[in-house]
Amino acid sequence: MTELPLIGEAVAVAAEPRLAGARIGVVTFPGTLDDRDAARAVRLAGATAVELWHGDTGLGDVDAVVIPGGFSYGDYLRAGAIARFAPLMSRIIDAANSDAKLPVLGICNGFQILTESHLLPGSMIKNDHLKFLCRDQVLRVENTNTAWTLDYQAGQEITIPLKNQDGQYIADEKTLDALEAEGRVVFRYVGFNPNGSRRDIAGISNAAGNVVGLMPHPEHAVEPGFGPESLDGIGGSDTDGLGFFTSVLNKIVGGDK
- Number of Cβ within 10 Å of residue 100's Cβ equals 10
Query: How far out from the chain centre does Cα 106 lie?
Result: 4
The tens place of each residue's pLDDT in the chain, 257 residues long, gives 334 344 445 444 445 555 667 999 999 999 999 999 999 999 999 999 999 999 999 998 999 999 999 999 998 888 899 999 999 999 999 999 999 999 999 999 999 999 999 999 999 999 999 999 999 999 999 999 999 999 999 999 999 999 999 999 999 999 999 999 999 999 999 999 999 999 999 999 999 999 999 999 999 999 988 888 655 555 567 899 999 999 999 998 774 44
Distance CA 44, CA 186 (A): 23
The pLDDT value recorded for residue 238 is 86
The helix/strand count (H/E) of the chain reads as: 5, 11
User: 104-107 and 64-67: which strand pairing?
Assistant: parallel
pTM, 2 dp? 0.90
Pairwise CA distance, residues 214 & 117, whole Å: 15
**Given this model, what pLDDT does residue 93 score?**
98
Residue 129: CB atoms within 10 Å: 12
Q: Please tell me the predicted confidence (pLDDT) of residue 236.
A: 64
Active site residues: 108, 217, 219
Alpha helices in the chain (DSSP H): 35-45, 87-97, 109-116, 173-181, 242-252
Asked if 2 and 42 count as a contact pair (C-beta separation under 8 A), the reply is: no
Annotate 216-242 with three-state secondary structure.
CCHHHCCCCCCCCCCECCECCCCCCCH
